Amino acid sequence: MAAKIDEIPEDVIYPEVMEAPRYSCALAGAYSTAVGIYGAVPILHSGLGCGIGQLFGQFYAGGQNAGGPQGGTSTPCSGLVEEHVIFGGEDKLRRLIKSSIELMQGDLYAVLSGCVPSLTGDDVESVVKEFREQVPIINVKTAGFLGNSYEGYELFFEAVIDQLLKELPIKKGLVNVFGVVPYQHIWWKGNLRAIKEDLRKLGLEANIIFTEFSGLENLIKIPAAELNIVLSPWNGLRVAKKLQERFNTPFITLPGVPVGPKQTTRLIREVSQALYLPAEPVEELIAREERHSYRFEEYFGDVMILAFPQPYFSVVADSGTAVGITQFLTNEVGYLPDKVIIADGMPEENREMILRELSENLECIIKPDVIFEQDSHLIRENLKRGHSLVLLASSLEWPIASESGAIIHITVSFPSFNRLILDQNYAGYRGGLRLMEDIVSKYCGPL
Amino acid sequence: MASNDAHNLVEPGINLNAPTCPNREQRAHGINVWYGQASQLLVEAREGKLQARDRDFQQTSGCALNFYLAVRLNTIRDAAVIYHAPVGCSASSLGYRELYRHVPVSLGRPENYDLHWITTNIQENDVVYGAGNKLRYAIREAERRYSPKAIFILTSCTSGVIGEDIEGAVNELQPYISAKIVPVHCEGVRSRLVQTGYDAFWHGVLKYLVKKPEKKQTDLINVASMLSYTWQDRLEIKRILGKVGLRPNFVPEFAAVDQFEQLSEAAVTAPLCPTYTDYLSKGLEQEYGVPYFLYPSPMGIRNTDEWLRKIGEFTGKESEVEKVIEEEHKIWQPKIDAIREQFLRLKGNGEKLTVLGSLGQGRLLAQLPFFEEIGLSSPAAMSQDFDNLILDEVEHLIGTVGDFKILINTFQAAEQAHVTRDLDPDIALTCPFQGCSFKREKGLTRIHSLRADAHPRSTQSGYTGAVACASFLLQSWTSKSFQKTMLAKTADSYKDWWYQQPNPLHYLKREV
């Protein structure tokens, strides 16, 4: 049949209409954030499929992780259907919150409202208010159409700041870490643990909020921090700015979670400067950590140089992961950056930092093409025009890696259906070692 | 006694002039909450008393779009799927490029295939101004990019509530588009029951994709196969049908569009899961005279025998089928008997091991006789949903295996945990969407593999499947270390009182 499609007059182009963007919706991001806080019980005020859709599309996709005792099919949900569209879902929600408090083990209840109550105009706040005296509870408006998973993270913390936090005296040495979005940043658990550990060596107590049984306590102590550290060029930035306005907490921003010694040293120096820590012990710490990490890097020297020196590589990832991996491989291991595709939909106004990090801050004559693209079809077309042997991307690229000539594919970003990620990570001084273990293991063999 | 076909119990006929199917609630009094004896359920159902009831406590469990359609429609090989929805409704579709990729080409998977989906990514301003132009753009983009043979449009709560005119867009664009455009009305808010999604999909298939038969293919057997049936199940069904000179036409997953077009040419539509296949089977009979049967599914030796015999009747191959059954029994029955022996010895006191299983209505009907065959007893069964489409079959089932308890609920994890704790079966089967109910002292394994699994161990259908599944269950009994450790070392989702009170439906709303 002759294609007659060209006979339709072309009108507006909608770039947000795309194949398989690598994130879910605002509800999913807020839901992930809630599930990342141990002891928080998410209560979905939504259709019945919203939670299970995110179990598949956010939790399983985020490194094959289950939802835990409060996530997945354990999550209370109001299950809105047509009658609630017509008559409202407030009563249903009221009964659900009451029963959830009775039944579910939890310290904090987070009501997350999806598309339907937002469209029908349910007065969720007035329902939530009835329970505020009884338990810690927050109301987060997270209609899916408000944005993506990253937006959901910001919306969750904005609700926490507005509804839960109170001014506290500053606690010396306490710093909060923001910008790591549970499940969406697939290394979230291990990354946060590694960063906490590196900051502990500096004498600091890092409040990583997630993955600790003191979840509610961790939220409540956010205002007591001396400094907020944002480990992303854009995620958590709104949270840090809001905390600065409300509690005067200063913040610093890094382009991503640091991978390997050079980036981790930069984090340590920036944090130390922001907190006016005495230089000498900081430099001693840096020297000690670097010496040890690089001594370990010597171990992969032979196999890497013999088998696979200076390969071109490409990255498809969220902005922070892309910067961390690209800088480590380029600046410390001699890999040559071909394409860096930033697929998280970061806003235009934050892109300058990324472009600088991926040009000026790369110690290599070859600079990568930096492409901001979220459409998986266009990402694929773009990769076909490249010439990388190593492709560090998501599990979406696993079946198509060979199209672009890549012989090694490693999942480093969302979605990660082909990789179970529990505690592993590429963060901190020793994170680069683990990245090299993963890459080199794909091609090493006997002499 | 009223049969399934009684008009007060099941709406007769399928109206393809309508944009979509009726909901299962309307069509067959579908429910997703009930607990008690199966015989009592049957009495209430026959009296037309089944009715959807609300719970005061409910857990997320799936909608018409996001239980099944969003995960698996993307596997139709030369089609494209458009989600007319906010971005989160299609996140569960992100595995599309990997699905089936692990199936070796040597096992019959086509080497080259490519799957595609697009989201219209409805945003806040679209909610205000409408998203019709984005949908039109998405249809054109799908055609330009992928040159598909069919474009499925899956709707969402948001597209439904803001009143998007899907048919308008389809009718306007179809003359310009080579691909057949198939709208599927799977707005989550339309129904409490996830099976409404199946019917909505088949409605679109019947209305837009199935062609008038050019010729009858007397050896072609339609088999609607969903994600819980593995690649090995397909191979087994292909094998046993092949022995009598018949070919399966597996739809919808991983099918090509022409396989849908030919559904009207088949000799018969046979079930794997009756509740899943019902609407398609009835539609094909009504529109094209393709006969169907819905029971039994080919799970277990006897069920498979009967399944084959039914197909034999419809294709005039009764004697060939009997010969195959005899041959297969010689090979597989001794193996089943050996497993049965082992199961019967496990308790040491002559008692049978108890198992708690099922998932949907299809497995409910198929599993219980199979468990009996391999020497297990089932004190109860769990089913996602229940409707009047299977009343005769449940009656037959009670006649075969005796009365049993039945919990109807769609992944209500707290209720399932309660029933699992209360009945304390020797082996609990999980989906695993049952929250903490996997943490226990006794046996635990999966109900099914849920993936395009090509491993022989995961087979459940036909004769080889009966043996594989039976030994899989036997193997599950040998170690309980995971579930015991998790029970001892991790927290439960619910407070203690939940398990101390007797009623799993504690939160069923009393007033109707």
Could you confirm whether domain B65-190 is CATH 3.10.560.10? no
Using the beta-carbon criterion (under 8 Å), do A49 and B66 form an inter-chain contact? Answer: yes
Test A47 with B491 for CB contact under 8 angstroms. no
What is the reported pLDDT for A432? 97
> A45-49, B7-11, B120-124: which range is least confident on average?
B7-11
Cβ-defined contact of A144 to B118 (cutoff 8 Å): no
Strands (E), B168-312: 180-184, 220-225, 247-252, 268-271
Q: Which of A23, A149, A398 sits opposite B98 (nearest CB)?
A: A398
Task: Take residue B404 and report the two structure tokens written for it.
Answer: 């049993």
Task: Please check whether residue A77 touches B, CB under 8 A.
Answer: yes
Tokens found for residue A216: 């509610």
Q: Determine the distance in angstroms separating the CA of B487 from the nearest CA of chain A, rounded to an integer.
A: 12
A78, A100 in Cβ contact below 8 A?
A: no
What is the rounded CA–CA span in Å between residue B94 and residue B84? 16
A113 touches chain B (CB under 8 A): no
| CATH superfamily, region A26-163 | Nitrogenase molybdenum iron protein domain (3.40.50.1980)
Domain locations along chain B? 65-190
The chain-wide mean pLDDT, for chain B, equals 93
> What is the per-residue pLDDT for B509?
82
User: Is any Cβ of chain B less than 8 angstroms from the Cβ of A417?
Assistant: yes
| Smallest Cα distance from A361 to chain B, Å | 33
Q: How confident is the model at residue B512 (pLDDT cuts 50, 70, 90)?
A: very low
Q: Among B158, B189, B195, B506, which would you mutate to test the A interface (most chain A Cβ atoms within 10 Å of its Cβ)?
A: B189
Provide the chain A residues 26-55 that lie in CB contact (below 8 A) with chain B: 26-28, 44, 46-55
Q: Across the interface, do A144 and B87 touch by the CB < 8 Å criterion?
A: yes
A88 has a chain B CB within 8 A of its CB: no
What's the ipTM?
Answer: 0.96
The Cα-based distances of B501 to A96, B419, B434, B481 in angstroms read 19, 11, 19, 28
User: Inter-chain contact A395–B67, Cβ cutoff 8 Å?
Assistant: no
The alpha-carbon gap from A283 to the nearest alpha carbon of chain B, in Å, equals 42
| B159-208 pLDDT, tens digit each | 999 999 999 999 999 999 999 999 999 999 999 999 999 999 999 999 99
A176-274 and A300-440 share one fold: yes
User: What pLDDT is attached to residue B4?
Assistant: 61
Check whether B47 has a pLDDT greater than 50.
yes
Residue A9: its pLDDT value, please? 72
pLDDT tens for each residue of B322-334: 999 999 999 999 9
A103 vs B122: CB contact, 8 Å cut-off?
A: no
Q: What is the distance between the alpha carbons of residues B423 and B416, in angstroms, rounded to a whole number?
A: 11
Mean pLDDT of B353-365: 87
DSSP one-letter string for A376-430: HHHHHHHHHT---SEEEE-GGGGGGGGGGT-SEEEE-SS-BSS---SS----BTT
Residue ranges per structural domain of chain A: 26-163, 176-274, 300-440
Structure tokens at A65: 């992780």
Asked if residue A52 lies in contact with residue A72, where contact means CB atoms within 8 angstroms, the answer is yes
Model pLDDT for residues A153-175, shown as the tens digit of each residue: 999 999 999 999 999 999 999 99
Inter-chain touch B91–A417, beta carbons under 8 Å:
no
| DSSP run (H or E) holding B468 | helix B462-478
Fold of A300-440: Rossmann fold (3.40.50)
**Burial profile A34-55: b = 16 or more Cβ within 10 angstroms, e = fewer:** bbbbbbbbbbbbbbbbbbbbbb
Q: How high does pLDDT run on average in chain A?
A: 96
| Per-residue model confidence (pLDDT) at position B235 | 96
CB spacing of A17 vs B137 below 8 angstroms: yes
Estimate the share of chain B in helix, then strand, then coil, as percent rounded to the nearest 5.
50, 15, 35
> CA A89, CA A48: separation in Å to the nearest integer?
13
Q: What separation, in Å, do the N-terminal and C-terminal C-alpha atoms of chain B show?
A: 27
Number of Cβ pairs < 8 A linking chain A and chain B: 274
Which of A1, A4, A5, A148 best probes binding to B when mutated, by most B CB atoms within 10 angstroms? A5
Q: Identify the bridge partners of residue A24 per DSSP, sorted by sequence position.
A: none
Q: Provide the 8-state DSSP code for A259.
A: B
| B259-286: pLDDT as tens digits | 999 999 999 999 998 889 999 999 999 9
Q: What are the contacts of B98-102 at 24+ separation with CB within 8 A? A: B98/A395, B98/A396, B98/A398, B98/A399, B98/A417, B98/A418, B99/B72, B99/B74, B99/B75, B99/B254, B99/B451, B99/B452, B100/B75, B100/B231, B100/B254, B100/B452, B101/A398, B101/A399, B102/B452, B102/B454
Contact between chains at B91 and A24 (C-beta distance less than 8 A): yes
What's the CATH number for A176-274? 3.40.50.1980
Residues 386-415 of A with CB under 8 A from B: 395-396, 398-400, 415
Q: Report whether pLDDT(A428) > 50.
A: yes
CB contact under 8 A, A119 and B173: no
Give me the residue from A47, A53, A55 closest to B189, CB to CB: A47
Q: What is the pLDDT of residues B126-139, one digit of tens each?
A: 999 999 999 999 99
B412 CB neighbours in chain A (<8 A) are 73
Query: Whose CA is closest to A38, among A154, A194, A171, A208?
Result: A208
Q: Are A244 and A251 in contact (CB under 8 A)?
A: yes
pLDDT at A283 over 80: yes
Per-residue pLDDT tens digits for B194-252: 999 999 999 999 999 999 999 999 999 999 988 788 999 999 999 999 999 999 999 99
pLDDT in tens, A193-252: 999 999 999 999 999 999 999 999 999 999 999 999 999 999 999 999 999 999 999 999
